[in-house]
Structure 1
């Protein structure tokens, strides 16, 4: 049995301590961000816990693979405007962070070996967004005189949401990740390594676990989830109108969407059927009702 109610403790032990940045010398904080090994090990553990087994051999989606959808978007733009879509490459002045390089080469990378588990497209090299697609002058991330460009490295299948790091933080080994929303760019994850753990958590259980979707949420269920189950410690997942928080339980995770997506508001997923039934009974969810 794995208690995901204690997952936040596992996360705190390995993920970057951004709240301590001001108390560290710059070189000390850089060394802290560069210590990515324990973070990748947590990703490997989580994937294994939910049944993912690395197949070995060559990855199905190598680093330099072209996204079919991105190629379609670029071709369509060229036909409609006569202009080439030239934003795909990282410009020479923008670094590729250490953690992003490392992720592509992980031998247990569940995306590169089984991309169909996910509904996203990677951008390699990362796409550099400037102008209207960069941060506005008035933003809460960096000073007005700093580089406001955003380097996108992952996108939802239809490019409705995109995830990237700030060009101003590109020299950091494991910088923050922003996501494009209707409100503009907001923080999705506190580091690139945390983002890929988050991406796995919001994808793999749906494929490998036992799933109960609650479309008609009974009175009091959301309050019971919040009162009885600890958050796993990740920021809310933002995609397609969703703003989803994950809560942990023994051998199970509950996802609650407080946004305006087309997904079920509550999803309960167990690593085993027994774990799913145990948690739904505890929360008062009728599996037959759906």
Structure 2
């Protein structure tokens, strides 16, 4: 990794008028991801381990086989971007799903889920996403590993090539997660890959005891990457970028308030100095082995 990548300029790359999948491929390459040899991709039409487990319990209890399309509205089209993503030959999710710890939903299941499996409700009335009297359903295409929260697009936008993505956030209902499906998958990679392939450290706000609050330090030295805040398991995390580094700061309920990932040890060390963190070798995680990605 000889070329320095300034992720402080990532928002410009995200907004550029070009195929979003090119950006996903570039980002994966920059952090050192390669498709593992001899590995078949996750089939589009497959059941998640979690869903299979719950279904098996249900069938054991009732003695009846569950209808696999019970939660699906087969009259709704599938957005073009979602099928494109599944078929990408460099898709780090389909070839290395253990990097992500999420479960895909295909075919797309509705929220609220007629089968009773999905945990989230539909949109409340009123809401900022559809007009009064509009379709309050959502089409779920990805879920946190234990289905504690889910990501979906509006059923009313199912006919769009690349619709908006919402995240379920418990009692607060649904919030905007990404301006499109293609942007969502770039964001998902930005959240998952750097901490695996980069030099990383996870810290709390109290690890920066002297001087201004850490968020002020981050905003003074690094630029937003152009994404909506990441929402998962109570997290509300903003992503910032700089030379060879991504800094995440959470104001929600993430395990760590600050996570810094550098493409090199020097990049991580430079960010530590900039933010005023006293280096502790025991807390720093080096890049993980390739076999752990499969």
TM-score bucket of the superposed structures, by smaller chain: 0.7 to 0.9
Q: Deviations over 1:161-180 (max 9, x none)?
A: 10011110010000000111
- Tell me: CA distance 1:272–1:249, structure 2 relative to 1, closer, same or farther (3 Å): same
- Residues 127-276 of structure 1 aligned to structure 2 (within 5 Å): 127-130=109-112, 133-182=121-170, 183-215=172-204, 216-219=206-209, 220-261=213-254, 263-276=255-268
Task: State the Cα RMSD in Å.
Answer: 2.1
> In the alignment, does 2:36 pair up with 1:55?
yes
Q: CA deviation at 1:60?
A: 3.6
Q: Which residue of 2 aligns with 1:67?
A: 48
| 2:97 aligned residue (83, 98, 115) | 115
Quote the Cα distance in structure 1 between the aligned partners of 2:103 and 2:194. 19
> Any stretches of 5+ residues in structure 1 without a counterpart?
15-36
- TM-score under structure 1 normalisation? 0.86
Tell me the CA shift for residue 79 of structure 1. 5.6
Alignment partners' CA distance in 2, 1:195 and 1:93:
24
Whether contact under 8 Å (2:121, 2:173) holds in the other structure is no
In structure 2, stretches of 5+ residues that fail to align are: 114-119, 284-294
Tell whether the 8 Å contact from 1:254 to 1:268 is kept in structure 2 after alignment.
yes
Distance in 1 (CA, whole Å) between partners of 2:52 and 2:163 is: 28
The corresponding residue for 2:288 is none
Cα distance, 1:87 vs structure 2: 5.9
Match in the other structure for 1:9 = 12
- Native 8 Å contact 2:221 2:274 kept in 1: no
The 1:65/1:259 distance shift into structure 2, 3 A limit, reads: same
What are the Cα deviations for residues 62-88 of structure 1, in whole angstroms up to 9, with x where unaligned?
112211111122334556688947666
